[in-house]
Structure formats: C-alpha cells, structure tokens
Amino acid sequence: MVTGSSQRPGIFAVRDVRSLISETTEEGHGLRKAVGATQLTAMGVGAIIGTGIFVVIGEGAAVAGPAVIVSFVLAAVACTFSALSYAELASSIPVSGSAYTYTYATLGEIVAWIIGWDLILEYGVSVAAIAVGWGGNLNAFLDAAFGVSLPDAIAKSPEDGGIFNLPAVFIVLAITFLLVRGVTESARVNLVMVGVKLTVLLFFIVVAFFNFGTGNFHPFAPSGVDGVTSAAAIIFFAYIGFDAVSTGSEEARNPAKDLPLAIIGSLVICTIFYVLTAVGAIGIATPAQLESSDAPLAAALDQGAGISWAASILSLGAVVAITSVVLVILYGQTRIFFAMCRDGLLPQRLATVNQRYGTPARLTIGLGVLIAILAALVPLSAIVKLVNIGTLFAFVLVNIGVIILRRTRPEMPRPYRVPWSPVLPILGVLFAIYLMSDLPLSTWIRFVVWLIVGLAIYALYGFRHSRLRLRAAAAAADDGTPDAPTEQPR
C-alpha cells in the first residue's frame, strides 16, 4: 500500500471513492444516466429467473422431497446476506464495475484486478452457455408448438455433433446490437420480457392451485434436515443474478435510492415466485414425477392438471426467460470490462463512450462477437461450473468490502446500510465459502489457472498502464517529488 509521498503506488493501492465517482462525469468516459428503479428491478428479475426455476425444482425435489419448498426459502436467505452488502456498496459507490470497483475501493488494485478478471470469465462463459441453452429451448418450443425443429448441423456445437450453433450466435449478436443502441432501449425490452416470463410462471401457479391437493406433501421431509440443506445448495444458483443490478450503478438516475430497492426488490420478487411455484408443483405432482422430467413444470401440468399443451407455454416461457438473462448478463459483462478499461488496467481506448448512443459501443461489439464465437464452437460443459465459483468469490469480496469500508471510511455517505454489520456480511462470506468448498477439484484447478493467466497480463500491461499509477507519476513530475501518489490507500 502507499504509505508516503516518496513511494510509488503499490499493487495494493486503493482508489478514493470520490475520485471514482468524479470520473463518471468525464467527457467521453461517463455513461448516460437513463434507468430508474423499475428498470433496475426488472434487470435483477431478468438475470435471476432463467431456466433455473424451469429445471432446478426437479433436482431439488429429488433430494429434499416436498421440503424443497423450505430449501427455496433457505437459499433465498443465504443470498440475502450478500444482496444486502451489494446494496450498501452500490448506493455508496454508484460506479460501473460492480464487485471489481468495490474491491478497488477497499482491498486494492491487485485484488480488484483478480476479481475483475474472474468476472470477465464468469460473465463471458455464462452468456455463452446461456445462449447455447437458448437454442435448445427454442428447438423445444418449435417442436412443442409447431412440430418442427432446426437441423442439428446448425443447431448444435461440434461438441454435440453439429457444425456450429446458429441460434446461439443469433441471440448473442441480437442482444449485442440492442445493447449498443442504448441502455434505455435495452431496459425497455427487458421489462417486456420479464413481464412475459412472470406471466408464464403466474399461469403455472394459478392452474396448479386450481388443481391443488395435499396428498403429495407426505412425508414432508423424507431426507430430513440434510436433504433440505443439500437441496438449498443446488437451488442457491437459481437465485444468482441480483449482483448484475450493481453493474448498472453508473446509469441509474437516483442510485442512492434505486439500487438498494432494485437489488433487494428483485430478490424478494423472485423468492415469492419461486416458493409459490414450488408449492404449486408439489400440489399437483409427486417429487418422483418432477425428478423424472427434464421439464418438471410442464410434466406437473401434464400429469397433474391434465393440460397436455402446457409444454408449449412453458417452453415459450423458458425461451423468453433465457433471452432476458442473456441481455442482463451481457450488459453486466460490458460494464465490468468498461470499468477496467477506464482505470487503465485494460486498453483505455475501449472505454470510449459513443456520443450518439451513450454506450461503450466498440467494447460491446467486440465482446459480443467473441462470445458468439465461443457459443458457436467451443465446448462449454467442462468450464460452465466456473460461473458458480466466480460468483461466490465475488460474494466473498463484496461482503468483506462492506466490513473494511465501515472501518476505514466511517464518515462516507451510505444511503443504504447493511443492518447488524459485521454479522450479516460475515454470514454472507461463510455461506459463499461453504458452497465453494462443495465444488469439484477440477473447477478449482481451472479457476486457479485462469487467475494465473490474469496475473501475468496484469504484470505485463495493467500495472504499467494503471491510471492511478500514471496520475501519481504526473503529480510527481509537477511538484518535483519522486512519484508522489495522488490517492492514498483509503
């Protein structure tokens, strides 16, 4: 860390929060403030509700039985600790970059680089994998509704016996075009898609409750407490996505109020829908019926309520749900990359904001093309678990960041404050570490290799081009002192 004016800022130099915020107003490097609480909340719901609820309920019911309902609640509680920490930091530091920016302001540049590099992988792999899933669900919808499907040669990657995945390429490039056009347009489209997928889930809930029975609830917890907690660990990942809201911090019109409301609100809305869906599913189908199907909600309507055409409705809901997730996650990817470029840790010219659209258009197009190629050709099955470890690693650092800033910057304005700090942030850290410990060794090895590659890039490029370090050198040249830093560590 920087401790004196005679020292060059080290790898643990911390960005001053006021400096971070002031950079958002610089000409050509500040994003347009264009979204409010409703759009931000829809972003959170859009990122959270994907194929998870359409699939994971069957996996959870296989482990916990009817008590999967409790597992959904428990998973939501586990996510809430980290969501509260994100809400505090997003309202206090309304700057693009999410966990990367928060870490830069608390733990220093090298740790910020590590988490930023981690998030680049997490979001990139996630978008590519989700786009591949979008193509599969599109085929399922076409088959259920019209009895047709795309040929494997253009609907699957070489890994799965095709030539390239055209639907995955199409959806990534279409979303890229939308994101280039502007955050306002993107937020409006996402709001419509969120409305559609919530309507589909509401359709399922209403039909289920009209055909509801209690016979499937006995025995309620056949595997006991262990089954409930094990299912909660599986279901936890169906809630991940609320953190994407914080990537829109800089474009929020009223970040102090809107960001905490959107982060916590999206988690609450999704929890309500998830729990009602789980109750309805158990009310019309046995855990065994849910477990045996790749589309458990459609199977529940078919076997429990006798609605054989329900598969087409649920397939449509899945397609829309995944489209919304691709939009929000790719948006988050571009904003994290943008923040790292603006700080000089990656090529700064990529952080230029298009004056017509108010978006980092060049960067967005570049990332969109790379991810489209990844989704079309590269085997993803082996690396998709990196999404989970990356997310949990970010959760750990954000919770720690809240605790550190409370000690080092107690006077900093905090429009929203995590209650009972540091107890709740510590619980958030413990839950994340517990889930990380359950991931396979191969995932950890790939994660460590990716971080080593990132550290090499930081050493060769990021350290020397860091805006913080260049400003320190410029200040030293102006006042005649050797490399005096312009920003102190906290």
Q: Give per-residue pLDDT as tens, 233-252.
A: 888 888 888 888 999 889 99
**What is the signed CA dihedral for 167, 168, 171, 177, rounded to 10 degrees?**
-120
Q: What are phi and psi of 146, to 5 degrees?
A: -125, -5
The mean predicted confidence, pLDDT, of the chain is 88
pLDDT tens per residue across span 102-118: 999 999 999 999 999 99
Please report the pLDDT score of residue 480 as a whole number.
60
Please report the pLDDT score of residue 8 as a whole number.
58
Alpha-carbon distance 1 to 17, whole Å? 16
pLDDT tens per residue across span 115-173: 999 999 889 988 998 888 888 888 878 887 888 888 988 888 787 788 888 999 999 99
Of residues 395 and 27, more confidently modeled:
395
Please report the pLDDT score of residue 129 as a whole number.
86
DSSP string for 140-195: HHHHHHHS----HHHHS-GGGTSS-BHHHHHHHHHHHHHHHH-HHHHHHHHHHHHH
CB 93 within 8 A of CB 15: no
pLDDT at position 19 over 50: yes
Which of the listed ranges 1-5, 207-211, 458-462 does the model predict with the highest average pLDDT? Answer: 458-462
Please report the pLDDT score of residue 482 as a whole number.
53
Nearest residue to 231 (alpha-carbon basis) of 384, 45, 73, 441? 73
Please report the pLDDT score of residue 38 as a whole number.
94
CB 260 within 8 A of CB 90: yes
| Structure confidence at residue 50 as a pLDDT band (50, 70, 90) | confident
Please report the pLDDT score of residue 490 as a whole number.
41
Residue 487 parent element (H or E): none
What is the pTM assigned to this prediction?
A: 0.89
Specify the CATH number of the domain 17-479: 1.20.1740.10
CA triple 263-264-266, angle to 5 deg: 70
pLDDT at position 295 over 80: no
Q: Say which residues have a Cβ less than 8 Å from residue 168's Cβ, sequence separation at least 6.
A: 128, 131, 132, 134, 135, 157, 372, 375, 376
Q: In the chain, where are the structural domains located?
A: 17-479
| Structure confidence at residue 315 as a pLDDT band (50, 70, 90) | confident
Q: Is the peptide bond before 485 cis (omega within 30 degrees of 0)?
A: no
Please report the pLDDT score of residue 486 as a whole number.
43
Please report the pLDDT score of residue 1 as a whole number.
38
Q: Say which residues have a Cβ less than 8 Å from residue 457's Cβ, sequence separation at least 6.
A: 117
Please report the pLDDT score of residue 484 as a whole number.
47
Q: Tell me the percentage of the chain whose pLDDT exceeds 70.
A: 95
* Amino acid code (one letter) for 450: W
pLDDT tens per residue across span 321-377: 989 999 999 999 999 999 999 999 999 998 889 888 889 999 999 999 999 999 888
Please report the pLDDT score of residue 29 as a whole number.
66
Q: What are phi and psi of 95, to 5 degrees?
A: -130, 145
Please report the pLDDT score of residue 357 as a whole number.
87
Please report the pLDDT score of residue 6 as a whole number.
36
Q: Which two tokens stand for residue 401?
A: 């960041």
Alpha-carbon distance 309 to 311, whole Å? 5
pLDDT tens per residue across span 369-386: 999 999 888 877 767 778
Please report the pLDDT score of residue 485 as a whole number.
46
First to last CA, the chain: 10
Task: Find the range with the poorest average confidence among 34-48, 199-213, 282-296.
Answer: 282-296
Residue 352 parent element (H or E): none
Please report the pLDDT score of residue 2 as a whole number.
39
DSSP string for 253-282: SSHHHHHHHHHHHHHHHHHHHHHHHHHHHH
| Structure confidence at residue 474 as a pLDDT band (50, 70, 90) | confident
CB 365 within 8 A of CB 372: no
Q: Which two tokens stand for residue 135?
A: 């193509």
Question: What's the distance, CA 31 to chain centroid?
Answer: 20
Please report the pLDDT score of residue 53 as a whole number.
78
